[in-house]
Structure 1
Amino acid sequence: MGDGLRDRVPASAVHLCVDMQRLFLDDTPWRTPWANRVLPGIVRLCDAHADRTCFTRFIPPAVPEAARGAWVRYWTHWAALTGAQIDPALLELPSDLQRYVPPARVFDKGVYSPWFHGALQQALQTAGVDTLIVTGGETDVCVLATVLGAVDLGFRVIIVTDALCSSADSVHDAVLELYRDRFSLQIETADLDEVLDGWR
């Protein structure tokens, strides 16, 4: 459960779904155990606002050496998931979400934050977007990087509490509490039904 919406969701809002790829839903070393459990809720939000939806995808480098700095060590550890070794189909959205593209848009990234390369920010600014409704995974990694970047950029940020997933329940719960406590002036937390009801 969230603390609820402060105001109705404006027509200018965008649903930003973070990294709901087969890489995290299928049987891989990065499988997020309850990603499939939150997928139906994300589908409901896409059904209601497909034309106001953006997906991000986490794309590994071809080889560890193609990464930057400390990412080389990271990708050396996860070499089996680099572009040269992974099945490219695992980087795709599941069919339940892929069917919304288009009109939904996809933005690829090679790091946790979708703001690093600037394409997503530019697209949202050009479209006059001022509010982001965030779903996806993982709560404590890519979602966290997405949310904090969005706060820095001045977006109204709404977290859909029952449409997020993580590999660790305790950390998921702690990050949601962080949003409610330390970022309560900039981040709203609400469940899916309230968001759908407030965004018409």
Structure 2
Amino acid sequence: MLSREQELELIDTLRGVHPDEFGLDEELWTRQSLTTLIQRRFELPLDTGAVGAYLRAWGLGPREPRERACGLCVSAVERWVRSEYPGITRAAQEHLAEVYWIGRVRLRGTMPAADVISAVSSRGRVRFMITTPTVDPPLPRDFVLRLSGEEQRTVHLIVDGSWPRNEWPRRLPRRIVLHPLPSCGRVVAA
């Protein structure tokens, strides 16, 4: 297990950098790439399950769509899941694409503060990056592009209320399809 000091050092190490900057073969952080970094940096033989527990403690991992909505939007999200989401999954299957749910959470107890931008696939795969929060930051273009990978896979991205549409990246390649999750504009705390 990491000590609290090691965990905070790890968060600072991950802030604004990607796994490929450490010679790892991933575009964004995953449980596996984080496990490898921890083993190298702290010489701790943690397995991916233990690292997954850290990610869940940081607020990452699969969540129900209603958990991504503020209390005012729950019924709209539930209707959206019944009416719109099946069409998104069909389109993704036709394009051999992955569906990701994108959101942002604030890590508590870090100085300076840290935000984790994450994408969780419909299969439960978590990909993420850590940033230093700014006032109303846009959805990072490089994060969205990295989800598509070097292979330039087609991806369907469901964006929660963390980012209004006017904060989405513009002029993305056609292989990246963004879908808004219904939102009243209030950000959901993790």
Length-normalised TM-score, structure 2: 0.39
Q: Which has the higher contact order (CA 8 A, sep 6+)?
A: 1
